[in-house]
Structure 1
Amino acid sequence: MLRILVLTWLICMAPLSSATTLLVMGDSLSAAYGIAPEKGWVALLDQRLQQKGYAVSVVNASISGETTQGGLSRLPALLKQYQPDIVMLELGANDGLRGTFPPVIRSNLDRLTLLSQQQGAKVLVLGMQLPPNYGPAYTRRFADVFQRVANARDTALVPFFMESVALEPTLMQNDGLHPNAEGQPYLLETVWPALKPLLPLP
C-alpha cells in the first residue's frame, strides 16, 4: 500500500509535458500562395518536426499581402490566443515592394519582435532582399533592416529567406516573386539551421 502511495505521489509531482508552440507570422511566401497548402514550406516544416519526434505545434498565421503594419495589428491577439514559445517573423517584403520608408519597416519589425519577446517567445527573423530595380540605396537600406532588428533584440536571423530560390527560374512561379512547389523544400532548408537551436530536444 505504501509503495502505491509513493508511486502515486511521484506521478503527481512529475512535471506535465506540453508541446512547444511555433507561430509563423508571414505573408504570401509563407501562406503557400499559388500552390496547394500542404506543399508550402510551413507545412513541410510541420511534417519534418513530426517525423523527427519534436513535440512542436505549428500555427501558420501567414496572410498573402501582409505587411509589418498589418502584422502588428494582428499579433497581440495571436500571442494571447496561442501563447507561442517561438515566433517566426517573415514580414517586410510587401513593405519593400511598396517603397515603404525603411525606418518605418524597422520600427514595425522591432515592435513585432519586442511584443513576441515580452510574451516569453524566442524569435527568428527571416530577412528579405529586393530586386535591383528599386535602386541600390533603397535595396541596401531595406536589407539592413532585418540585421539591425536582429542585432538590437538579440534574435536568431536568416539573412535572406529567398536566397536559394530567388535566382532560379525553375523554382519560381511565373510572377517571378513566389517560389513554386518545387522551391518550397529549399525554403525549409534555408530556415532549418537557424530554427533548430530554438527547438526543444526531440
Structure 2
Amino acid sequence: MLKNLFVYGFTLAFLQLLIACGPAPDEPQAVPKDVETASTATESDQTASTREAEILIVAFGDSLYAGYGLDQKQGFAPELQAALIAAGKDVRVHNAGVSGDTTAAGLRRMDFVLDSLSRKPDLVILGLGGNDLLRGLKPADSRANLDAMVRKLQDRDIPVMLTGMLAPPNLGAAFSKEFNVIYPALAKKYDVALYPFFMDGVVGRPDLFLPDGLHPTAEGIDVIVGKIAPQVAELLES
C-alpha cells in the first residue's frame, strides 16, 4: 500500500490540509455552504429515488465522502452509484458525508442519519478517522468511536464496510502502530469488510487533487471508485 517515505510524507501533507478545512475541535461540526447545498439537492433527489432502487447504500464519512469542491454528480457517492449501476446493480448510494467530521462527530450523528432514511440500508460504507489524526486525538478514542459505530450498525442488522486511514510515520512509531491497527482489528472483531486505505491510488499524485491540494478531482474520485466499487459489488452478492 504505502511502501516508501515519499508516499507517507505526501499522506501527512494531505492529512494536514484535511484538518485545516474542518472546524476546530471544540466547534460544532458544520457543513460548508457549497457542500450543504449539494447535499440538500442530492438528498432530495435520493429521497425520491431510494424507493425505486432495490439496494440502498449509505456512504458515511467526511469531506472525502461528501464530494467537497465537486459538482454534486462527481463526488464519491454518485460516482460509486454510477459504477455499481454500470455493473448491473439496482442501487442508490446516499451521501452521508460531512466535511470536518471526526469519529466522535460521526458517532453523534449516526442514529439521526439512519433514522432519517426511508428504509434500512443494505450496506453502510464507513470512512472516518483522518481528522482524528491531525487533531492529535488518542487512537484509543478513535477506535472506541469507530467500534461504537460498527456496533450500532450491527445492532440494526446493517452490513458494514470500513474504509481505513493510515497514520504518517512522523507522528511516532508507537502512535502509528496503535492507529494503523484500528481498522483491520475492528473488521476482524465484527467480521465486516475492510478497504484498508480510502486514498489508495490518489495519494502521491498531485494531478488528482483540486487546487486546494486536499480534495480529489473528479478524476481522483474515479480512481478511488474504480478500486472500491468491485469490492462493494462483491459484498452485495454475498
Q: TM-score, normalised by structure 1?
A: 0.84
Q: How far did residue 175 of structure 1 move?
A: 4.1
Q: How far did residue 54 of structure 1 move?
A: 1.3
Unaligned residue ranges in structure 2 (runs of 5+): 1-51
Q: 1:130 aligns with which of 162, 167, 181?
A: 167
Q: Secondary structure at the match of 1:87?
A: strand
Q: State the one-letter code of the partner of 1:184.
A: I
Unaligned residue ranges in structure 1 (runs of 5+): 1-16
Alpha-carbon distance change, 146 to 199 in structure 1, aligned in 2, over 3 angstroms: same
Q: 1:171 aligns with which of 201, 208, 229?
A: 208
In the TM superposition, what are the counterparts of 1:25-174 in structure 2 within 5 Å?
A: 25-82=60-117, 83-174=120-211
Contact 1:26 1:63 in 2 (8 A): yes
Contact 1:126 1:157 in 2 (8 A): yes
User: How many Å separate the matches in 2 of 1:64 and 1:128?
Assistant: 16
Q: State the one-letter code of the partner of 1:53.
A: G
Q: How far did residue 35 of structure 1 move?
A: 2.1
1:21-44 deviations in Å (ceiling 9; x for gaps)? 111111011111122221112211
Alpha-carbon distance change, 174 to 135 in structure 1, aligned in 2, over 3 angstroms: farther
1:97-154 deviations in Å (ceiling 9; x for gaps)? 2111001101110111111111111100001113333233323322211111111111
Q: Residue 23 in 1 paired to residue 43 in 2?
A: no
Alpha-carbon distance change, 198 to 161 in structure 1, aligned in 2, over 3 angstroms: same
User: How many Å separate the matches in 2 of 1:100 and 1:193?
Assistant: 33
Percent of residue pairs identical = 38
Q: TM-score, normalised by structure 2?
A: 0.72
Q: How many corresponding residue pairs?
A: 185
- Find the counterpart in structure 2 of residue 7 from structure 1: none
Q: Secondary structure at the match of 1:29?
A: helix
Q: How far did residue 167 of structure 1 move?
A: 1.1
1:48-96 deviations in Å (ceiling 9; x for gaps)? 2233331222111101001111111111122223221101101111111
Contact 1:161 1:190 in 2 (8 A): no
Q: Secondary structure at the match of 1:124?
A: strand
- Find the counterpart in structure 1 of residue 39 from structure 2: none
